Amino acid sequence: MSDADDTVADAGFDDWLDAAEDGAAYYLECPEDHTSLPPRRVCPDCGSTDLEELALPDTGEVRTFTVTHVPTPAFEEDAPYATAVVDFGPVSLTGQVVGIDVGDVETGLTVELEISVSETTGERVIGLRPA
Amino acid sequence: MSDVRVAGTGLTPFGNSPERTSRDLFAEASIAAFEDSGVPREDVEGVLYGNFMGELSEHQGHQGPLMAEAAGVQAPATRYESACASSGAAVREAVKRIRTGEDDVLLVGGAERMTNLGTAGATEALAIAADDLWEVRAGVTFPGAYALMARAYFDEFGGEHEDLAHIAVKNHENALSNEKAQYQSAIEVSDALEAPPVSEPLGLYDACPISDGASALVLTSESYAEEHDLEAPVAITGTGQGGDRMALHDREYLARSPAAREAGDEAYADAGVSAGDVDLAEVHDCFTIAEVLALEALDLEPIGEGITAARDGRTTADGETPINLSGGLKAKGHPVGATGASQIAEVTDLLAGDHPNSDHVADATTGVAHNAGGTVASATVHVLEVLE
Ligand SMILES: [Zn+2]
């Protein structure tokens, strides 16, 4: 990682992580009710540029998950870890399941968002904790 | 609109050659393709070259002109990047250029140098095919993404790891006679089931290897082939491309590949064939589950039934529709940027009777090549037919 990577934020995305840390995670919705995640200026479904930020529901349900044993270098110290795709209703999110043994993760598990950090890099990671 | 003839095919061995540069790999593949075609280099009007991770593995951008030079071709050259579908996309653009009459002869192909990165480095490089912000930063790897799809498939349609193991066994079996394949070794179902987990439920034998290699094709217009009396009985008669949302979590279905279906439907319609006409296919089995999703997207298996195709013998070498007679990405290897064009080369050789496995498909006239990028946010499908 260069210094630039360490110091320059990703506008829209890091702002979203900041909001999530404050318990104010959100998703985007256009007038036709298509939903998406930032950073985004245009609705990917209809091209509308009128996107409103709405509060992400508090809990979601695991749609699918995997336990990764062979990570990228950025997660070397974290493996094995469970990654899940979680349905929050209007949008789904991908994150790491935390606060539970990886062997106990299952489809249908109810989780809430909790921004965590990579044990390897200290970078913020979207975490999902059993609710 | 003329058909596009595959005048020559060339492949390097796929495998472990970390010291070889991609320019060296592509040069070797292009020499083989030119020799096979009988087309002189000076007739080439353009080079379309697929590559995915050259910036990461070789610190080399701007690879189009570099590869034209490596191939000894003085013609404009462009690199195409669409992750693992990079050279499938290059082939598709070449087909369109020849069909419009803009060009008569094009050199198309791809290369990837990967093993010099090591396992961790290659894992990182492959991961960039996913959404960096929303997937990679959550720890999603390339095998991890397919593992998410595999579990979703099992949950929706049933199936188990043992079904996937039969796909690995089949593709290793097919590669035994392919001297270009990375693995020319048979495996047992138990080997696959007992292999170390990579990203559960997928294990080491569910994954294609990390590979170095290159592929090249000389494509010509029908009129050029006729005027120069080329021996080029196989033509690309259909081309299609599809797209999808980048992140897996933004898709309605986690266990289907709509981009591949879109590409397949377009390619079938373009060629005027249907799935029932397909005698053989090379599909993008970067992971065993990917072969299942490909078969269903191409209508070669009904939705939810592709999982048993290998286990029940429908897709084995002597089955109704042999799939991945080359060994597939699983056993032949997956030098990412080379893969799409290599599939066209394999289907061409299988249909022309020039492939070690051609005997299994002696009467075949129609083949399909399916190339997918990332978790199939991009896909190309080509139909090839024997015309004479
Ligand atoms: Zn919209």
Domain boundary among A13, A34, A56: A56
Same domain, A68 and A125: yes
The answer on A109 and A62 residing in a single domain is: yes
Which residue in B284, B334, B370, B382 is the catalytic one? B334
pLDDT value at A6 more than 80: no
Same domain for A65 and A15: no
Task: Give the Å distance between the CA of A42 and the centre of ligand 1.
Answer: 8
CA B290 to the chain's CA centroid: 12
Reading the block at residue B69, the tokens are 């030079």
Same domain, A110 and A63: yes
Q: Is B386 on the interface with A (CB under 8 A)?
A: no
Nearest chain B Cα to A91, which residue?
A: B250
A81–chain B Cβ distance below 8 A for any pair: yes
What CA–CA distance (Å, rounded) separates B310 from B332? 17
Shortest CA gap B131–chain A (Å)? 10
**Measured between CB atoms, does A94 come within 8 Å of chain B?**
yes
CB atoms within 5 A of ion ligand 1 belong to A 30, 32, 34, 43, 45-46, 48
**Beta strands of B148-228 (E only): which ranges?**
197-200, 202-203, 213-221
Do A71 and A8 share a structural domain? no
Q: Average pLDDT for residues B288-293, to the nearest whole number?
A: 98
pLDDT score for B33: 98
A93 and A119 co-located in one domain: yes
Task: Measure in Å the smallest separation between the Cα of A126 and chain B Cα atoms.
Answer: 6
Mean pLDDT in residue range B348-373: 97
Residue carrying the six token digits 């090839």: B384
Q: Are residues A49 and A61 in the same domain?
A: no
> Within an 8 Å CB–CB cutoff, is residue A65 touching chain B?
yes
- How high does pLDDT run on average in chain B? 97
- B109 alpha carbon to ligand 1 midpoint, in Å? 38
- How high is the pLDDT of residue B285? 98
Q: Calculate how far, in angstroms, residue B177's C-alpha sits from the geometric centre of ligand 1.
A: 52
Place of tokens 């279905």: B253
Domain-ending residue, one of A28, A56, A84 = A56
Say which of A65, A72, A126 has its CB closest to residue B151. Answer: A65
pLDDT in tens, A25-76: 999 999 999 999 999 999 999 999 999 999 999 999 999 999 999 999 999 9
Alpha carbon of A48 to ligand 1 centroid (Å): 5
- A1: pLDDT confidence band, cut at 50, 70 and 90? very low
Per-residue pLDDT tens for B220-248?
999 999 999 999 999 999 999 999 999 99
Strand, coil or helix: B15: strand
Q: Quick one: average pLDDT of B33-38? A: 98
Do A35 and A64 lie in one domain? The reply is: no
Shortest Cα distance from A124 to chain B (angstroms)? Answer: 8
Q: Are residues A30 and A75 in the same domain?
A: no
What DSSP element (H or E) covers B224? helix B222-227
At A5, is the pLDDT very low, low, confident or very high (cuts 50, 70, 90)?
Answer: low
pLDDT computed for residue A4 by the predictor = 53
Measured distance CA(B93)–CA(B109) in Å, rounded: 12
For residue A36, give the chain B residue with the closest CA: B250
CATH of the domain at A90: 2.40.50
Residue A70 confidence (pLDDT) = 94
How many interchain CB pairs under 8 A, A with B?
107
Mean pLDDT for B145-157 is: 98
DSSP B13: P
- The mean per-residue pLDDT over the stretch B137-147 comes to 96
Q: Look at residue B167 in the predicted model and tell me its pLDDT.
A: 98
Cβ-based neighbour number of residue B303 at 10 Å:
16
Each residue's pLDDT tens digit, B252-276: 999 999 999 999 999 999 999 999 9
Q: What is the pTM of this model?
A: 0.97
Q: Which CATH class is domain B4-118+209-386?
A: alpha beta
Q: What is the pLDDT of residues B25-35, one digit of tens each?
A: 999 999 999 99
* DSSP-derived 3-state class of residue B264: helix
Strands B378-386, B234-243: parallel, antiparallel or unpaired by DSSP? Answer: antiparallel
Chain B, residues 294-333, CB within 8 A of chain A, namely: none
Q: Say whether B124 and A73 touch across the interface (CB within 8 A).
A: yes
Please choose, from the candidates B238, B241, B280, B274, the residue with its C-alpha nearest in 3D space to the C-alpha of residue B258: B241
Residue B107 has pLDDT above 50, yes or no: yes
Asked whether residue A115 falls in the same domain as residue A82, the answer is: yes
Mean pLDDT calculated for residue range B39-47: 98
Does A34 share its domain with A63?
no
Which residues make Cβ contacts (< 8 Å) with residue B241, sequence separation at least 6? B89, B92, B262, B263, B266, B378, B379, B380, B381
Q: What is the dihedral of CA B40, B9, B237, B168, to 10 degrees?
A: -170
Range of the domain at A81: 57-130
Mutate to test the interface with B, among A70, A114, A123 (most CBs of B within 10 A): A70
> Is A79 in the same domain as A118?
yes
- Choose, from B84, B208, B286, B370, the residue flagged as catalytic: B84
Domain count, chain A: 2
Identify the pLDDT of residue B3: 87
pLDDT over 60 at B40, yes or no: yes
pLDDT at A7: 77
List, for residues B337-356, the tens digit of each pLDDT value: 999 999 999 999 999 999 99
Query: In the listed set A21, A39, A56, which residue is the last one of a domain according to the structure?
Result: A56
**Partner-chain contact B148 A68, CB within 8 Å:** no
Task: Quick: pLDDT tens for B200-219.
Answer: 999 999 999 999 999 999 99
The pLDDT tens digits of the residues spanning A79-129 come to 999 999 999 999 999 999 999 999 999 999 999 999 999 999 999 999 999
**Which DSSP string corresponds to B52-108?**
SSHHHHHS---HHHHHHHHTT--S-EEEE-BTBTHHHHHHHHHHHHHHTTS-SEEEE
